[in-house]
Structure 1
Amino acid sequence: MRQYPRIAAIDLGSNSFHMLIAKATTRGYRIITRHRQKVRLADGLTPSLTLNDAAIERGIGCLKDFAQLLNDYQPLQVRCVATATLRKAHNRQHILKRFERVLGATIDIISGTTEAGLIYQGATLDLARPESAMLVLDIGGASTEVIAGIGTEPHVLKSLDMGCVVWQNRFFADGAISARRFADAIDSAKRLIQPLAKTYQAHGWQTVCGASGTFRALQDCLRHYGSGTMSAEFIDYCKNESIKHGHVEQLHQLGIRDDRMAVFCGGLAILVALTESLDIRAVDLAQGALREGLVHTMLAERKRSLA
């Protein structure tokens, strides 16, 4: 009987660390287990772009758990990538050595373009029709990826220097929510998006999907309010409801989970800027993201090596 290998994909994001362990199959792969921990790495990035000890220790604590899971599941191949916060951190080499020692695996700091391509692959594997024009959005902790493509092939890939943790700390640091703060956060995001708007609109899209925690939080809001579509109007409604409640500690009244409330407004402000700048009418929730893209890439490489 043929044995199919287990593989592990690990994403060290600026807000959360993710691990996905999957088993290769004749038709692709089957997910065995998923794990996610809120590490909030971007919270520890100082103005001088040095990652502080507290954030490093949070990362190490998570990676100890991941190392135990790798030991339990014994995957044949492990791929671990780090994104925006470690791209920016001046002390990244010191951090990498400590992280790799704990995890027991090599960690690659990938470029924003590479990150965007992997996100697109993961987000469109199940959603895309072969000729469907897609726009994929991923609002991470310290960067936002905007990718346009056809089917599963990305054509326009950008990683923007803004994210839910960074924006939360910049505009809603004390937890207070106001119309003025939202306006400032949205305007700042638009300044980064608008120079690219014509390029994306020229490419066009039939479907927009969101592949990060901001969109999962909005999906929770949809369930709470009994609405069915993550429309631009609903996104704006959530912004106004957040302002009405006035503080992040009250966001549970929108149906948002406790572990998401602390960065929700930062991500929502970026999403409002995206919908208004790109004239997005509605967003679907993607079923995959960066780690699914990693698994897909690993399996494709394995298939080529065995051919």
Structure 2
Amino acid sequence: MRQHPRIAAIDLGSNSFHMLIAKATTRGYRIITRHRQKVRLADGLTPELTLNDAAIERGVACLKDFAQLLKNYEPLQVRCVATASLRKASNRKQILKHFERALGATIDIISGTTEAGLIYQGATLDLARPDSAMLVLDIGGASTEVIAGIGTEPHVLKSLDMGCVVWQNRYFADGLITAARFAEAIDSAKKLIQPLAKTYQAHGWQTVCGASGTFRAVQDCLRQHGSDTMSAEFINYCMQETIKLGHVEQLEQLGIRDDRMAVFCGGLAILVALTESLDIRTIDLAQGALREGLVHTMLTERKRSLA
């Protein structure tokens, strides 16, 4: 057995599939390589919650690529988890057979609470002080996780039934962007957040960090604008500028990357709803998310087994 083995953490999200391969070190781990593919599983969920063949084929193609990378890097341990889209899919057993055959590894469909806990671990490893109250937000493709904790320990964990892909398809499907559509999308998101607002505000936080692609996209807007603080005011400004552009194909003018344009409005509407419902003033960009949390958990379990 290698003294410092390689491990692989794979996250089958509703928008993107991620793989992180890391090497264990005496102080934790060192990332060897990261890979991400836009699979957009949530795009393939029908109203009956069946995942369609096109989405399954995109997932299989990605996992075959991941399988080749696993063969190249030969990690000692592989852990793969799937999130909201597969939690919802009525044909998930059939999908898992295809996905596990393509990857060559077992895939666990994790609960929303487990997902939230892993996200919090990954997001706070480098940011949190032991006594710091934290709020972590992750806007995924089909779910949004809101987690409050102290240091690296999560205390309040919720997974909400909304995400950037689902909201984009529901409110901006044809690519047109209007103030009325944003208002409707924000109002729908608030209805899911507001029943929980008092619980989170009672817990409190000193720092808020965002751990998903929506936050990185807003950060890109910040850079283009010459600003460095992701404030509630800037997020609202970003929405107003988005509305002025009128169509998703114009979002590159705000600095939005091509691979993010198709789901940006859905994620931004949820973000606005979060900042307004929870009275969030500023947000930091987290350096980690679910896969980093998964690596941390794998290493912790390994240390316990060797003790």
Q: When the two structures are superposed, what TM-score results if normalisation uses the length of structure 2? A: 0.99
How far the C-alpha of 1:85 sits from its partner, in A, is: 0.1
In 2, Cα distance between equivalents of 1:82 and 1:295: 15
In 2, Cα distance between equivalents of 1:123 and 1:235: 21
In 1, Cα distance between equivalents of 2:247 and 2:11: 30
Alignment of 1:102-141 (within 5 A): 102-141=102-141
1:242 aligned partner: 242
Residue deviations 1:266-304 (CA, integer Å, cap 9, x gap): 000000000000000010000000000000000000000
In 2, Cα distance between equivalents of 1:182 and 1:18: 29
How far the C-alpha of 1:185 sits from its partner, in A, is: 0.1
2:46 aligned partner: 46
Alignment of 1:120-269 (within 5 A): 120-269=120-269
1:283 aligned partner: 283
SS across alignment from 1:145:
strand
In 2, Cα distance between equivalents of 1:172 and 1:32: 38
SS across alignment from 2:54:
helix
In 1, Cα distance between equivalents of 2:58 and 2:119: 24
Read off the aligned partner of 2:26 and give its amino acid letter. T
1:27 aligned partner: 27
How far the C-alpha of 1:3 sits from its partner, in A, is: 2.7
Residue deviations 1:200-250 (CA, integer Å, cap 9, x gap): 000000000000000000111111110010000000000000000000000
2:71 aligned partner: 71
How far the C-alpha of 1:66 sits from its partner, in A, is: 0.1
SS across alignment from 2:32:
strand
Read off the aligned partner of 1:123 and give its amino acid letter. A
Read off the aligned partner of 2:196 and give its amino acid letter. L
Read off the aligned partner of 1:260 and give its amino acid letter. R
How far the C-alpha of 1:154 sits from its partner, in A, is: 0.1
How far the C-alpha of 1:53 sits from its partner, in A, is: 0.1
Q: When the two structures are superposed, what TM-score results if normalisation uses the length of structure 1? A: 0.99
1:271 aligned partner: 271
Structure 1 spans left out of the alignment, 5+ residues: none
Read off the aligned partner of 2:84 and give its amino acid letter. A
Q: Report the aligned-residue RMSD.
A: 0.8
How far the C-alpha of 1:86 sits from its partner, in A, is: 0.1
In 2, Cα distance between equivalents of 1:100 and 1:207: 38
In 2, Cα distance between equivalents of 1:140 and 1:300: 26
Residues matched between the structures, number: 307
2:300 aligned partner: 300
SS across alignment from 2:263:
helix
How far the C-alpha of 1:193 sits from its partner, in A, is: 0.1
In 1, Cα distance between equivalents of 2:255 and 2:146: 27
Read off the aligned partner of 1:195 and give its amino acid letter. P
In 1, Cα distance between equivalents of 2:300 and 2:176: 47
In 2, Cα distance between equivalents of 1:246 and 1:238: 13
Structure 2 spans left out of the alignment, 5+ residues: none
